[in-house]
């Protein structure tokens, strides 16, 4: 396969991370030296103002800055985004009694701790950026069925009978990545034997732009504030119990939520459908192979108790886009393994660190009642330490990551 004069970057998967890296490359420093093709088997969802997507993300400041650089953050805010300014965490029956842990953006001089944003809104705005770019295209309805990796390029066979050729392919096709399997890249994975129930509820008490989370023996329960006054629920439960509640009548599910929330939002009312997502910790042992790289959930999945999964994926997108652009500007082959390993070195350690930290936290709160005093002491220690709370908030906001990557995200020459 001859090397392409204008390299093409193939992106498998049109989720938020896949569309994010495509948009970065299609509008970035090498927009006139690259082609980008996004390949997705399923039709893309379109955001509608009258419907709030069940799947939402808690986006950090770093993710916000990336979207600002792409020119889509203003559209996110104009459409619908809910800032959360405080976070309240507790274990036990009393939401206001010890042990509790409270974070407030004002304590670190920030306007908020992040924004709750819908998945289909992000995908709609990012897809619009990609389709508007003259050097990019979306191929919908033709998933990849086979992959041929050659010395000078890669060819993807599509389910619709077509094919696509590129200098490098990016696997952004989720935790069950078929592309990762085709590439033979191994993973270490552990099921949490939990399923996250996701739904929206209305409440008698206002959420006051506060994200609330209670640690329960079966798994954490989180309420994320939505722009219309409702709350998005993410409740991690043993899979058997989650399956039963997903099939239960609205009244039964809400009664369980009411009890589990300790009344932190008053009386709850169901206001949306529900869905379940199996939970696991997964980490690819290698992020790249010749002419291929993994990003987002294809490379790593973590427990949702800190809401960091999408933020890590967007950091992957920014790092890989920067590595590809640097290679093109330097006259290198962007699909060369030595080039792609720069991305792996940039992101693998940080992602693994976050995975292990959240896995350890999940294990700690999953211990029996004898460990409750240890957990309570830990919560009290962090809550009483201004320095520790500042560190946690700055890390969750991604302030260091945003500073590190700002030049990349602003498409500086």
Q: What is the CATH number of the domain that holds 185?
A: 3.50.50.60
Is residue 194 situated within a structural domain? no
Is residue 20 situated within a structural domain? yes
d(CA 172, CA 149): 17
Beta partners for residue 165, in sequence order: 155
- The answer to whether 294 and 284 have CB atoms below 8 angstroms apart is yes
- The answer to whether 66 and 314 have CB atoms below 8 angstroms apart is yes
Residue 403: predicted pLDDT:
56
**Whether the bond into 99 is cis, omega within 30 of 0:** yes
Is residue 384 situated within a structural domain? no
How many residues belong to the chain?
413
Is residue 59 situated within a structural domain? yes
Number of helical H runs and strand E runs in the chain: 12, 20
Q: Residue 164's domain spans which residues?
A: 8-82+117-189+281-369+399-409
Is residue 225 situated within a structural domain? no
Is residue 247 situated within a structural domain? no
Question: DSSP label at 263?
Answer: T
- The answer to whether 301 and 188 have CB atoms below 8 angstroms apart is no
* Sign of the torsion angle spanned by Cα atoms 155, 327, 184, 312: negative
Residue 411: predicted pLDDT:
53
Is residue 230 situated within a structural domain? no
Give which of 239, 279, 243, 276 is closest to 359, Cα–Cα: 279
Q: Tell me the two tokens of residue 383.
A: 């809550």
For the entire predicted model, the pTM comes to 0.94
Residues 6+ apart with CB under 8 A from 252: 245
- The answer to whether 233 and 199 have CB atoms below 8 angstroms apart is yes
Q: Tell me the two tokens of residue 316.
A: 């992957």
Angle between helices 337-365 and 372-384 (to 10 degrees): 120
Strands 219-225 and 231-238: antiparallel
Is residue 198 situated within a structural domain? no
d(CA 268, CA 14): 35
Residue with tokens 């490359």: 25
- Please report, in tens digits, the pLDDT of each residue of the chain (413 residues total): 445 579 999 999 999 999 999 999 999 999 999 999 999 999 999 999 999 999 999 999 999 999 999 999 999 999 999 999 999 999 888 888 777 889 999 999 999 999 999 999 999 999 999 999 999 999 998 899 999 999 999 999 999 889 999 999 999 999 999 999 999 999 999 999 999 999 999 999 999 999 999 999 999 999 999 999 999 999 999 999 999 999 999 999 999 999 999 999 999 999 999 999 999 999 999 999 999 999 999 999 999 988 899 999 999 999 999 999 999 999 999 999 999 999 999 999 999 999 999 998 888 888 877 777 777 777 777 777 777 778 878 888 887 775 555 555 555 44
Strands 187-203 and 268-284: antiparallel
d(CA 63, CA 77): 13
The total domain count for the chain is 1
Following CA atoms 316, 57, 87, 81 in sequence, which dihedral angle do they give, to the nearest 10 degrees? 120
Give which of 196, 265, 198, 257 is closest to 230, Cα–Cα: 265
Cβ neighbours of 185 (radius 10 Å): 21
d(CA 81, CA 97): 31
Question: DSSP label at 2?
Answer: P
For 343, half-sphere exposure in the C-beta direction (CA atoms, 13 angstrom radius) is: 34
């Amino acid at each position: 396969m001859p090397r392409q004069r204008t390299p093409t970057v193939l992106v498998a998967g049109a989720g938020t991370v896949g569309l994010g890296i495509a948009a970065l490359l299609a509008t970035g420093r090498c927009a006139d030296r690259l082609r980008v093709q996004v390949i997705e088997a399923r039709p893309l969802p379109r955001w509608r103002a009258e419907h709030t997507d069940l799947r939402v993300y808690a986006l950090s400041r770093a993710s916000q800055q990336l979207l600002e650089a792409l020119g889509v953050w203003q559209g996110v805010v104009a459409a619908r985004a809910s800032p959360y300014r405080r976070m309240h965490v507790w274990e036990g029956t009393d939401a206001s009694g010890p042990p509790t842990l409270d974070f407030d953006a004002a304590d670190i001089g920030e306007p908020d701790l992040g924004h709750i944003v819908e998945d289909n809104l992000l995908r709609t705005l990012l897809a619009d950026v990609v389709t508007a770019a003259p050097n990019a295209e979306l191929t919908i309805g033709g998933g990849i069925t086979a992959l041929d990796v050659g010395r000078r390029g890669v060819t993807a066979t599509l389910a619709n009978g077509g094919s696509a050729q590129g200098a490098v392919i990016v696997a952004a096709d989720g935790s069950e990545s078929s592309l990762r399997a085709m590439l033979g890249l191994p993973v270490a994975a552990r099921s949490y034997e939990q399923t996250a129930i996701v739904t929206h509820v209305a409440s008698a008490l206002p959420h006051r732009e506060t994200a609330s989370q209670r640690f329960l023996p079966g798994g954490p329960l989180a309420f994320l504030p939505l722009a219309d006054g409702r709350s998005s629920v993410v409740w991690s439960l043993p899979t058997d119990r989650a399956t039963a509640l997903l099939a239960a009548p609205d009244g039964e599910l809400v009664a369980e939520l009411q009890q589990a929330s300790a009344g932190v939002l008053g009386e709850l009312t169901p206001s949306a459908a529900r869905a379940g997502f199996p939970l696991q910790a997964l980490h690819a042992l290698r992020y790249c192979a010749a002419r291929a790289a993994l990003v987002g959930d294809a490379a790593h999945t973590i427990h949702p108790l800190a809401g960091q999964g999408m933020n890590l994926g967007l950091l992957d997108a920014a790092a890989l886009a920067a590595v590809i652009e640097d290679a093109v500007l330097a006259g290198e082959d962007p699909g060369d393994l030595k080039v792609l390993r720069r991305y792996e070195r940039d992101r693998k350690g940080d992602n693994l660190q976050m995975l292990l930290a959240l896995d350890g936290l999940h294990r700690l709160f999953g211990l029996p009642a004898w460990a409750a005093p240890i957990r309570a002491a830990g919560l009290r220690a962090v809550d009483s330490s201004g320095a520790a709370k500042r560190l946690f908030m700055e890390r969750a906001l991604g302030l260091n990551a945003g500073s590190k990557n700002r030049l990349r995200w602003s498409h500086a020459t």
